[in-house]
């Protein structure tokens, strides 16, 4: 509990429903949470109003398992929130499952949170000094302590005071007695949407959660916006903008996290990914000196994360797109690999070359990003074994060089392969004929308002002081760039 | 969360181990907790030191299921605590499982608690006002808040300060970083033992938990004693005795809770129960005017809780003892009864008359106590169907008339059959030929130092102000005593 | 599959229900099977008529788990059968769970069987030669092959023909299309009862299964009786009595298997056990030369199997009976012991001395039988540790010297301690001050018609040729009897 | 059990391994079975040699759950077989899980089977008459009875005799004592491959199972080939070819069943599907009178089954391909839908339109086939809601008009929408702007040797008499073709 690394809270999904008329809220919440399953498979949970109390149910596991009980029987209610949580390597950590429900002087509060607080240490030290006890290692608990400790006369004011103190990434939904809040930090790191249908209000991380409920009217919660929905209607307040602050929307949501059929930050995810793929192609077209001479015979995605970008690459380059790899969707985390070759085997159980597509071909293999490089190595070997003449790996993300303090689970700088090797060195290491990343500048051309995005994991430019250790900050730059 | 009824914490069992040399503490804890299973079947859990951290694992279910993982592999550790929890009707309440582990300005603290705090409302109001948040509905959390909030310079002093404020019943074990505490309230409501073997220190609710670990040297933790075990050895402090206070050891531990092979309050449970049975017989011997004329042909226990008292009754009365009822030990809580006759059926699935013993006989049926009377009604019917000529129900507890605020789950006064009916009326209601309770005075003759016991559930004489509602306190006394 | 040892089929329980009016048969079957749980905890299952078909559901596990689904919803039906199966060391053997359901030229047949066939090898060889395939290693399948192969014109005749060929122990219930059979072999090895209530017919291994359904009118199925219940009513046929045959009712059902509140072979189990205990006392009274001088201070049962006999011993000897050992009923088979001392620990987790009863006393410890002697050794050690001055172990069964081929799981002759040691040697080995068995002759005095019982496991006198290996038959008799 | 419909045995996958040197066969079998999971999710199982016995383990559920135990510990063995089974609506039918293991006069035989026997009724009647009992409702058991009943002197001859009698589809693997068989029927209905690596022999339904074991040398088992692998090596025999018989390889394996990265019938599945998609485009190009005028703006696959064909359509038509639908791979069968709109909701939870791709576009939606039409209706509605201007559904299979008796689970003729409606009527019914099937003739152009395939579900031309009811055969042809 002493690490300066941002504590738990990575890649999660949140959803919330409020209805003036009683609905079967727990059942209704099942569907948006199910559609956000890709944002977290470690645990799932909901909290909802049951008469004059709030009750919570959460457990380790997938939405369809944990929440299946809510598909039977009726539980009339006005409001509820839900959460899916990303699987980390920490083992059984039911304590960190969300929503967190507390009782305090402001009433009953349940909170589901996506993001990471950066000034955790400072806030926690203050709360420690004041005698607060922590039952989880999650940032989320901080908010609840601060709200409860606030001397502000009303809950709403206590909430605002709390949010003004907590620096970092947070998109969250909160149930305070009979009222629902949807909140997004002023930097707008994580997406959050709000919509209405037949009097019911729905909030969720991505628009795919709106679609499954057939909610057609929705919009982004604004950065810094605090929306409260209660019996009097819906009202917005705004947090003060930090001095000199601009938006820092996480570009990785577009590159990798969000579902391709979703909108986040008012962008179609699929469309942006196609643009990134197109931009990768444009980079390549110019790269070998002779614009228009293709470097390969076909474009193959790493399914499913590379699908959209690969299609974009194919369209922009004019090279044919083909399914050179298929994915076994039964491969999950439900069994333990028996041998030392576990990682290699895991790739082999999940991704399979289609020999007829691959054999004898020069291939552009499109994936979203490169972290440690181990999976790519296995993948390139698979393709070469299947007869690929050349494999040119293209990543729709720039080189990842810095840790994220806003909710993405990126390893330490020392573990990031791009901190140790140039693309050429990486190619040699993983057996590819070339490796190329989308440059930050090119990535920006794929965005409408690039100034509104966070690129910190690529360029280390954090919007404010982050709790990085000096050792990590000063890691010698071993890249030998040309 | 607004009820004045004492919150959760009923009938639990605690155990703890400290060893200067590393042992497989989690495995070691399995056994005492297993032997305390009768004190709580709802949930089980342990917290133990793992390197420089404390980790917790708990879940709903029985010890053999929840903690079976600890019977495989080795987890060297210096100290750990554990808890079993009584099953209430509140459904899935994993939140209330213990130990509770928190991180605070005093370090890491894990607590496992048996008992109930009486001034919960007052303490909670103060903590609410100060901004504390509550994640459980258990008393146990109160201690942790108070310790953390204390301005005392050391943990030990903060603990003492906390305990001086909390009025009520508590026998508990606590892990504070690398040191272990065993604590018993000044009234001594709940039992707690401490012992040593080969340098290892063990604390547990009953001595049966010592026996399973073959710990031969043990003693009662004294009322008001706070024992700390750490690398410097074992040291005791004492809480100040409340003004005018005497001991209030729970006589129900002897009557019903504890295992017959255990010692609690330095009494052999089996031996005391035999005495109570004997005293019941003595009451009866004098009762029909003609001392020495037995009222029945045989004495039959309700197994297993009535076994010892029935044997005592038989010995004192000279009537033969026989197993007129057998118990199906496969009957548990693992299935849901299908029909409206559920309670009747539950009795029928659990207890079975032995026709040859019963048929044509006048029977003294010995059980420990009478709460609502529903089970007894089913039981008397079973015996009569099996041919019993007469059934004389004898209870080794006095009439239960008042709720308990110190850890026993007794229903409200209105639900207690003895508040509504005389023994004669009860006999008529349940179909028995007579019903007789051990009188409080006679019960006292079965104890060495009756002044050291609590009889509040029988006589309403609480040692201090308890959070009973006025309505309950003023329930009209509908008993029509002769 | 080549062993000559009788194949699977040990200690089981069966139940069946037929009703001209549709009842919720699967739910109804739950209760008698639950009450027969002590006869087998490995697997449970039922087969019942569902419209014009028979369906089966069975799984490894206890009745309350496997069949809990039948406590929800209604499944109107006319007839069904059920089975509980003893847990052997063979691991996951779902294949052998019962009932077995087959489709054949005689219709659909489901069979649930308690007992063991002795001429398995001969029958199986014949069926093998004729081309039958075996999907289980259970005797039960044999019956089904033989019925199907029979050239008799009707099912009833085919059944009779089959039963005339199968030599051995069988009490069974059988569902043939819409009719129910209850069958007991001519030797009457295993108990089987049949009764009626409100037009419903119930059959079950023991009368405790009648009691739970409140069936008051019942009788033993006669040895050799074949009862069919169908839309035309109930009709009995009788198998021809084997030449020179007498009854061979298993005396171990009375000594150990059956529930004390049951009747088997028209005896009260509890009552017979008391008599055996009394006979043990009589043996002892005369044994030390001076009739009437007690050898000990108290009589203590090994709970629960020794309860009845211990009480009988106490009554006959005039020695006081006391609960010197308590049993932890949570101890089951649901967890794996961690250490090499597993067996010792298993005893310690299950049985606990009550020090006050034991300490300083000379104890008569009454148990039902001695097989390998390992558990007794642990138990004697426990009692001595608790301060017992002397421990005199008394067994209400004679010395077990021979294997059983009729349904009891007795180890090979070489593993039976009584084949290797005299009672005196056993006493020395297990640390007891004396060990004494009920003699066969004395046991017979406890029975009304001893000629109707099987004592083969004590005296090797099997009613017909059994498939014992020559090696086992000729095991040198290492007993050195006085 | 009286239905004339082919009994269970639909869409399954088989795998087998033989090794002269002992390997951890159960673990090795895990991987090919895992890679064949798409062929059956209802149950999984293996049988393998353990010393001189064969043991079986099977259960309902997925490979990764059922067989995970085999990823721990080592089980040296020479040979084993495995099976995955298709999920039908029959509920808990553990009885039908495979492999089936029997003991008989030919030794121990374990069988895992993919396909369906057509003369089941005739064979079963004969076996019934002879007194065989059936414990399953699966065809597979038939083989075992026939082998056991055969009077042929050797197992091999008994097997050949059996296979000559069983008419229908069977690709199977069989373990007979220490030898392994891989068998394919003379019509070659289902695929089966055999390969070797480092002395180990592997057989499996599809080549993807070879790939995961890195077996590079493999070939199709020939139609009618019976391969035995034992300590003497590998030897092939051939069944006599039925008079006038040609091959009847199931074209649906290419259209839908097999994994795109697999080879079946020596075809690349992905490549053939692309051809079918291309042929669909060619049909359309000519269809609107003006060859070359595209009917739409983009081509969208129903993922993942329509991916390959859609790509083929796009390439042939010159229309752009795009991912207009994404699939939620967490959607499985692990939860029960709550409402009456279950099917609609199931589609909505699984497939999601990408609005940016769809909106305002005329879409060619490519799927593999149309059975009842309900899913397509939901899908078209989803696309229209997402703004599609037009939806033209194209199926890479012809109209399905007849049931399959060779292993595919096709509903009765009356349930097949194409028996009731023309494509135009279907379009109107499901809300599409047009619906068009690949014609049988065009489909044939996508195959190298169309005469070697079975098209019976499209044209009713079965290779031999099939057990169709007269009622079904004579269903009035309600199609009103133009």
Q: How far is CA A125 from each of CA A95, A158, B133, rounded to the nearest angstrom?
A: 21, 20, 17
Chain C residues 73-102 within an 8 A CB cutoff of chain D: 92, 94-95, 100-102
Beta bridge partners of C169: C116
Closest to B127 (Cα-Cα) out of B107, B148, B96: B148
Give me the mean pLDDT over the D378-393 stretch: 96
Which of B330, B334, B387 is most worth mutating to test chain C (most C CB atoms within 10 A of its CB)?
Answer: B330
Higher pLDDT, C294 or B231: B231
Contact C132 D135 (CB under 8 A): no
**Residues with Cβ < 8 Å from A273, sequence gap 6 or more?**
A254, A255, A260, A308, A309, A312, A396
pLDDT for residue B474 = 86
- In the annotation, is A208 catalytic? no
Alpha-carbon distance B141 to A133, whole Å?
Answer: 9
Q: Is the pLDDT of residue A473 over 90?
A: no
Q: Is the pLDDT of residue B479 over 90?
A: no
Q: Which of C94, C104, C137 has the CB atom closest to D133's CB atom?
A: C104
Q: Which of A212, A260, A271 has the CB atom closest to D348's CB atom?
A: A212
Subunits in contact with chain D (3 or more CB pairs closer than 8 Å): A, C
pLDDT for residue D333 = 46
Which of the residue ranges A222-236, C376-390, D231-245, D466-480 would you say has the lowest mean pLDDT? D466-480
Give me the mean pLDDT over the A386-405 stretch: 96
Q: Which of C27, C38, C323 has the CB atom closest to B308's CB atom?
A: C323
User: Which residues in chain C touch residue B322, judged by CB atoms under 8 angstroms apart?
Assistant: 311
CA D187 to chain centre: 16
Higher pLDDT, A90 or D78: D78
Q: In this predicted model, what pLDDT tens digit does every residue of D429-459 receive, in sequence order?
A: 999 999 999 999 999 999 999 999 999 999 9
pLDDT for residue D137 = 85
Q: Taking the CA of residue D352 as centre, how many other CA atoms within 13 Å lie in the half-sphere pointing to its CB?
A: 28
Q: Is the pLDDT of residue C216 over 50?
A: yes
Q: How confident is the model at residue B347 (pLDDT cuts 50, 70, 90)?
A: confident
pLDDT for residue D242 = 80
Cβ-defined contacts of D283-291 (< 8 Å, 24+): D283/D436, D283/D438, D283/D439, D283/D442, D284/D317, D284/D364, D284/D392, D284/D394, D284/D436, D285/D316, D285/D317, D287/D436
Residue in B with minimal Cα distance to C325: B261
Strand segments (E) across C148-208: 168-176, 179-184, 193-197, 200-204
Active-site residue set of D? 12
Higher pLDDT, A138 or D360: D360
Q: How confident is the model at residue D139 (pLDDT cuts 50, 70, 90)?
A: confident
Q: Is the pLDDT of residue B89 over 60?
A: no
Q: How far is CA D348 from each of CA A23, A196, A304, C293, rounded to the nearest angstrom?
A: 20, 19, 19, 86
Q: How confident is the model at residue D89 (pLDDT cuts 50, 70, 90)?
A: very low
pLDDT for residue D403 = 92
Alpha-carbon distance D173 to D179, whole Å?
Answer: 11
Beta bridge partners of D49: D54
pLDDT for residue A139 = 86
Contact C270 B357 (CB under 8 A): yes
pLDDT for residue C39 = 94
User: Which residues in chain B touch residue A149, judged by CB atoms under 8 angstroms apart?
Assistant: 130-131
Q: Mean pLDDT across chain D, nearest whole number?
A: 90
SS3 of B178, please? coil
Residue in C with minimal Cα distance to D59: C94
pLDDT for residue A407 = 86
Q: Is the pLDDT of residue C473 over 60?
A: yes
User: CB contacts < 8 Å between A and B, how many?
Assistant: 73
Q: In this predicted model, what pLDDT tens digit does every residue of A257-293 receive, in sequence order?
A: 999 999 999 999 999 999 999 999 999 987 554 555 6
pLDDT for residue C5 = 44
Beta bridge partners of D390: D362
Q: Is the pLDDT of residue C426 over 60?
A: yes
Q: Is the pLDDT of residue D340 over 80?
A: no
**Residues with Cβ < 8 Å from B34, sequence gap 6 or more?**
B63, B64, B212, C328, C330, C331, C349
pLDDT for residue A340 = 44
**Residues with Cβ < 8 Å from B153, sequence gap 6 or more?**
none
CA D176 to chain centre: 26
pTM: 0.92
pLDDT for residue C409 = 80
Closest-CA distance of chain C to residue B209, Å: 10
Residue C476 in contact with partner chain B when CB distance is under 8 A: no
pLDDT for residue D479 = 55
Q: Which string of b and e fits A124-140 if b means at least 16 CB within 10 Å? A: beebbeebbbbbbbbbb
Q: Measured over all CA atoms, what is the biggest interatomic distance in chain B, rounded to whole angstroms? A: 73
State the ipTM, two decimals: 0.92
CA-CA-CA-CA torsion sign (A103, A109, A110, A116): negative
Residue D217 in contact with partner chain A when CB distance is under 8 A: no
Which of the residue ranges A71-85, A324-338, B25-39, B60-74 would you say has the lowest mean pLDDT? A324-338
Q: Is the pLDDT of residue A9 over 50?
A: no
Closest to C388 (Cα-Cα) out of C356, C345, C423: C356
Contact A103 B57 (CB under 8 A): no
Closest-CA distance of chain B to residue A336, Å: 17
Contact C338 B35 (CB under 8 A): no
Residue C129 in contact with partner chain D when CB distance is under 8 A: yes
Contact A144 B133 (CB under 8 A): yes
pLDDT for residue D4 = 39
Q: Is the pLDDT of residue A94 over 90?
A: no
Active-site residue set of C? 12
Q: How far is CA A397 from each of CA A256, A311, D291, rounded to the nearest angstrom?
A: 9, 16, 42
Q: Is the pLDDT of residue D417 over 70?
A: yes
Q: Is the pLDDT of residue A107 over 70?
A: yes
Contact A68 D38 (CB under 8 A): no
Closest-CA distance of chain D to residue A297, Å: 15
Q: In this predicted model, what pLDDT tens digit does every residue of A16-52 receive, in sequence order?
A: 999 999 999 999 999 999 999 999 988 999 999 999 9
Alpha-carbon distance D407 to D430, whole Å?
Answer: 28
Contact A128 B149 (CB under 8 A): no
Q: In this predicted model, what pLDDT tens digit does every residue of D204-243 receive, in sequence order?
A: 999 999 999 999 999 999 999 999 999 999 999 999 988 7
Q: How far is CA B194 from each of CA A2, A158, B202, B363, D5, rounded to the nearest angstrom?
A: 33, 47, 6, 42, 72
Q: In this predicted model, what pLDDT tens digit does every residue of B162-188 receive, in sequence order?
A: 999 999 999 999 999 999 999 999 999
Q: Is the pLDDT of residue D116 over 60?
A: yes
Q: Is the pLDDT of residue C40 over 50?
A: yes
Q: Is the pLDDT of residue B334 over 70?
A: no
SS3 of D96, please? helix
Residue A96 near residue A42, CB atoms below 8 Å: no
**Residues with Cβ < 8 Å from D293, sequence gap 6 or more?**
none
% of chain D beyond a pLDDT of 90 = 77
CA-CA-CA-CA torsion sign (D380, D383, D389, D392): negative
Give me the mean pLDDT over the C161-179 stretch: 96
SS3 of B279, please? helix
SS3 of C287, please? helix
pLDDT for residue D288 = 54
Asked whether the bond before C304 is cis by omega within 30 degrees of 0, the reply is yes
Helices first, then strands: H and E counts in chain D? 16, 23
Give me the mean pLDDT over the C421-450 stretch: 96
pLDDT for residue C170 = 96
Alpha-carbon distance A211 to D349, whole Å?
Answer: 10
Q: Is the pLDDT of residue B423 over 50?
A: yes
Residue in B with minimal Cα distance to A126: B105
Q: Note whether C touches B: 3 CB pairs or more under 8 A.
A: yes
Q: Which of D94, D108, D134 has the CB atom closest to C102's CB atom?
A: D134
Q: Which of B1, B102, B105 has the CB atom closest to A103's CB atom?
A: B1
Contact D260 A355 (CB under 8 A): no
Q: How confident is the model at residue B410 (pLDDT cuts 50, 70, 90)?
A: confident
Closest to A71 (Cα-Cα) out of D342, D337, D331: D337
């Amino acid at each position: 509990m002493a690490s300066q690394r941002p504590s738990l809270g990575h890649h999660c999904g949140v959803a919330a429903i409020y209805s003036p008329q009683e609905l079967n809220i727990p059942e209704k919440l099942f569907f948006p949470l199910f559609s956000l399953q890709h944002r977290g498979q470690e645990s799932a949970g909901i909290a909802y109003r049951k008469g004059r109390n709030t009750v919570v149910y959460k457990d380790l596991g997938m939405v369809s398992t944990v929440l299946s009980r809510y598909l039977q029987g009726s539980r009339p209610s006005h409001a509820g929130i839900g959460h899916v949580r990303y699987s980390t390597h920490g083992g059984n950590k039911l304590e960190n499952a969300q929503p967190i429900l507390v009782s305090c002087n402001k009433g009953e509060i349940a909170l589901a949170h996506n993001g990471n607080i950066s000034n955790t240490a400072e806030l926690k030290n203050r709360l420690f000094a004041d005698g607060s006890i922590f039952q989880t290692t999650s940032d989320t608990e901080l908010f609840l302590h601060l709200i409860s400790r606030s001397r502000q006369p009303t809950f709403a004011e206590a909430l605002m005071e709390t949010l003004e103190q907590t620096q970092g990434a947070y998109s969250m939904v909160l149930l305070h007695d009979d009222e629902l809040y949807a909140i997004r930090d002023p930097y707008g790191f994580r997406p959050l949407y709000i919509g209405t249908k037949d009097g019911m209000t729905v909030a969720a991380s991505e628009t795919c959660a709106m679609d499954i409920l057939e909610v057609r009217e929705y919009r982004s919660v604004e950065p810094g916006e605090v929306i409260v929905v209660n019996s009097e209607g819906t009202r917005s307040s705004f947090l003060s903008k930090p001095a000199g602050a601009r938006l820092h929307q996480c570009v990785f949501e577009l590159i990798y996290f969000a579902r391709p059929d979703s909108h986040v930050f008012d962008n179609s995810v699929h469309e942006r990914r196609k643009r990134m793929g197109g931009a990768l192609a444009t980079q390549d077209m110019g790269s070998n000196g002779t614009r228009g001479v293709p470097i390969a015979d076909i474009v193959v995605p790493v399914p499913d994360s590379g699908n959209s970008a690969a299609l974009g690459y194919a369209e922009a380059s004019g090279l044919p797109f083909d399914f050179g790899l298929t994915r076994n969707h039964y491969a999950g985390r439900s069994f333990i690999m028996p041998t030392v070759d576990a990682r290699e085997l895991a790739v082999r159980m999940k991704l399979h070359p289609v020999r007829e597509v691959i054999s004898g071909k020069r291939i552009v293999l499109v994936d979203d990003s490169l972290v440690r490089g181990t999976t790519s190595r296995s993948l390139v070997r698979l393709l070469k074994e299947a007869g690929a003449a050349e494999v040119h790996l293209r990543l729709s993300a720039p080189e990842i060089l810095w840790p994220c303090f806003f909710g993405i689970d990126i390893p330490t700088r020392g573990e990031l392969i791009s901190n140790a090797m140039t693309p050429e060195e990486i190619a040699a290491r993983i057996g590819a004929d070339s490796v190329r990343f989308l440059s930050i500048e090119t990535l920006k051309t794929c965005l409408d308002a690039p100034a509104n995005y966070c690129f910190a994991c690529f360029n280390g430019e954090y919007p404010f002081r982050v709790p990085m250790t000096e050792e990590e900050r000063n890691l010698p730059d071993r890249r030998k760039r040309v």
